[in-house]
Every structure is written in structure tokens, then in C-alpha cells.
Structure 1
């Protein structure tokens, strides 16, 4: 029976490229549309805000910054808003959105659960403990503006180690143990965070921690961009190289073994990769929910369930989505700024329900 199942799966994987021209169009069109949309979204995101900068001025300021051109003395303020404040923030939004979408695809394959997202493993809760310690007790104060990100990343790494040690067994990292361990430790980390806030001598600690937990790019700088970008690029490249193995893994460990894929080893590699990338993203943006949960399903509806196509399109879709979420966060109630997680939840919940009820769509397939 197992041999027949393996043969059937192999035939499905090999039959996929039959109509290569149609499938190339199915993939190329979304890539071109989203690529152009991302460029326009970034430019629009830089122009829009509590203070709107004309599009022509935005392009001129960006050109001056990149090429070393000159601007008039009366344009210094507008130039500073465009280049020093909004440009790194919008680009970081694109990187974080791309990263969360890609990691969402990987985590759903890792635990074989359509409801999984980058935070199901408890990594974001561990990062939250580190960030709370900075807000409440001023840890790593010598690092200045990098203190929060550093503590959050260290907390994420500590959570990764604890989840791995608690979830592993003689069978490796099984999906059910991984999810249950991640959820259980996430509650434990949240309890620790609550105790830290309760003991805080700072009355504003709870508000500051809550705002960070819901996601914010207000502290984005050019210095915070490279590490996040490198982490996301590495994740995309590695996952694309293992896309066929991810297709097999999503069909079950027995099927994977019969097709020559070491499910335990692959799951361990995916766990480390997704945990590190999630830790980096949470450190620079806080915990932004629903991006890694909803975007993979939306992309699957457009390009199919093959991981090679999903992983090619998901980063662009996630980048465009979070750029516009950030624009809404900055412009809906000026001069106040809404947490990104509030907007992603308000958009993500109804979209997820529509996707779930869509006729002919099954989670992870069509």
C-alpha cells in the first residue's frame, strides 16, 4: 500500500509541469504584477503620511540621496522626512511583510497545519519577554536605540532553544509535539511578561509593551534594515531550493520516507530557519499577526499549492500588503499611530474567513 501511495505522489509531482506554458503564465503574471505593484507601493508609502510629500518631490529627493545630488535649503525638512524617516520604514515594512509570508509558508509545511503562522512556535512570546525586560528594567541600556531589538532577538533565541529541547523526542520533531510545545511555552512566556509588567515601577510600561507586541515600525532606521533583509533573502533562497521536499513533507512522514526525504532532518532544519528569521523580524517590528497566516492561503488560491510557486509569489504579496498596512497605521488617526497588528487583524480575519469558505479550496491545496 505504501509503494502504491508513493507511486501516486510521485506521479502527481512529475505530472505538474505537463502544461509548462500555461503554468509559466500562471506564475509570471502574478510576479510581474506584484513586482510593479511593490515598486509603486514603496514610492506611494514614502509620499503618504501625516504630512503628504508630492510624488515628484519624493522621486527627486530619492534621486538626490542615491546619486549625491543637491537640494534647496528650504527642502531640508521634507528631504529628511523622505530619506531618514519614511524610506527606511517603508522598506523595512516590505522586508518584514515578505519575511512573515515566506516563514508562514514554511511553518505550515513544517507542522502540517493550515492554522499555523510564524508565531505558533512561541518565538514571538520569547522575544516579548526580552523586549519587556528592556522597557521595564532598562536592560542593555548601553546599546541605546538597539537595546529593544537586541533583547527581543536574544529572547527569541532562548525561546527557540527551550521549544526545541522540550519538543524533541526519539522520533525527532513531530508536528503535534512541536505545536503543543510552542503553544504551551508561549503561555508561559506571556505569564513571565505579565509579571514583569506588574512589578514595573514605570506606570507607562504596560502601554509601551502592548504597543510593541501589536507591531510597530516607528523605530525603523537604515541600520535595522540590512540584517532583516539578509535573513529574509537567505530564507527565500533556502526554501526555494527545498520546495520539492516541502511538497513531499506536506503529504506526511511515511510518504516522505518512501520518496527518499528524511522528514525528521528536514523538519529540524525548517525549525531552526523559521525560528531565527522570526526572531530577527520580531526584533525589528514587534509581533505582527495574520500576515504569515493569511497571505500563504491567498497566494495558493492564485498560483496553486506547489511550494515552488507559492514561495516565489508570497514574498512580493506580503511586502505589498504590509507596506499599505503601515500607510494606514500612519494616516488613519493622525497624529497618533495605530499598531500594525490591529490593522492586520481587522483585514486578516474577514479575508481568512472568506478563503476558508471559498468553494473548492482546501487548506494547502485547491
Structure 2
């Protein structure tokens, strides 16, 4: 009987515990207004924004009028300052020849100092209003998609009021809550297995809180997916180490034959016959699984065709380039 085979191997594996996980965004924020006013425009749910893209606009007409007034005030104070600077220089020249009173010079210098302070204050006022006008456009702190609107155009908004919720769909991670017993075996950068129904992928532990939550006694673990592209909110299972790694014998998962009496592996003997070996399974990693029984590293085990094998049955190991039986039959089909 033709079969496909692989070699049993010795590997360093750790027992795992499967815990629930969820795909979340690393950036998920409720964006607030930074100034008060009437909303004139708000991004729609589903809109995608770049970093610093406009999320909402607040009516800034009154602020623009205030800015015109503040700039005019700057010009007025600058003119007064310029006059006093000239007057101080004139009085200083006169004071050298004793042609003016010292008190008049002192008073003019004091007026100039006050004018200089007023000038600085007026310019600061202009910058403050310009900043408020810039803040009338609410901008995205990171790229993302609008998932909810809390305010509508035409509504009054105060500084600090939430306007929209922004979700970064390009910067995702998996969050898993693990038993406290796994904490000694977790390491940053460790690769772990992720599973969502029939989909499997690998992930790398980015961080974890090195203490259990007070109420749940669970550890918050954050994992970066390495290959799968799952949406936010996707639930999955995460395999985390439950003990220190140890040397074990592993075989491909396809080598297992499951029956009511337990799990078995068919080993090909030196005489070319199939030998059924009862085993117990342990830790798994990818497409291999630990087996405990009369199987050693280097044994040849059957991975295809083992479902129909009987103990002691002669087998023929298929070549890697050998076509399937249907293809072999068609090769000799007459015509």
C-alpha cells in the first residue's frame, strides 16, 4: 500500500494554555474640541483620515474679527512705543547739556517701559487668537477611520466636548487575558500561536503587565500579529506557555490516527510493515505535536494513507515526485 512518511523529531516545546483574545487597535481615541463655537462641518462615519486630517470645523468668524482688532491694537501700541523711544533719545541728549529736567527724562523712560510691555502683551494676544483659529479645525492625531459621531453640524461645542471617535485600523494588536500562572514563562519577543476558527497565524508578544489584575487575577498580554490581517473586534484563541520548555519527541499532526481506544501512530519497520504504536499527545507547535510512547526521534511515521492501514500490513513509501493514483491510471489509459 503506498503511503507518505515523515521523520519523528526531538524538539524543545513548552506545554501551552489556550486563552481568549481579541484584535484591538493600538490607537482608538475620542477626539475633542479645543475651542468653543458652532460646528460647521463634521466628518462622516466611515471617512478615512490621514494624520492631521480635518475631523471637524468650528465657526471662527468672531475670532477672525477679534484678530483684526488685536492686530490694530499692536500697530497702535507700536506707534506709541516708537514715539517714546525717539523722545527718550532726545531728552538724553538734552540732559547731557543740562537743558532738561531729570524728572521729565525719568518719566518718559517709565512711559517707554510701559509701552514696551503693552506692545509685547498685544503681540501675545494676536498669537493667542491665531492659535484659537487654528484650533477651530479639529484634526486627527493619527491616521484612522471615523467610527462614531457624537456631535452634529449646527450644534454648539465647548472646549473638551467629544466630537468623533477615531480608530486606527492600520496599527492593530491582540489583547489576551492570561492566567497568573503563565507569568513566569512569558517573555517579550516570544512567538505564540494564534487561532481563529480555521485560520492560524503566529504572533509576537510585545508587552505584558508583570502583575495580575486585582479583581480577576489575570495578566494583560499584548501581541503583534505577524501574518494574519484580522479586523478590529475579531475574537480568537492564543496559545501561551504554561511551563518551562523541555525536550520532547514530536510528529506531524497528520501522523495521528484517532480512535475510541486513543491516539496511535503507524511506524514503518525495517521490514517495510506498518507498526501501530499507541501514544499520548502533549504540547503542540504549528503542524507538529508531542507524542509520548514507543516513538523515538528518527522513526519513520506514516502521514498519508494511515487511516486505512492495519498492523503488520506491507507498505510502499511514495516518492516525492510520484503522481497520485488517478494520475498513474490516466498515464496508461488506452487511446
TM-score interval for Structure 1 and Structure 2 normalised by the shorter chain: under 0.3
Q: What TM-score does the superposition give when structure 2 sets the normalisation length?
A: 0.19
For the pair shown, the structure with the greater C-alpha radius of gyration is 2
Q: What TM-score does the superposition give when structure 1 sets the normalisation length?
A: 0.18
Structure (1 or 2) with the greater strand fraction: 2
Structure (1 or 2) with the greater helix fraction: 1
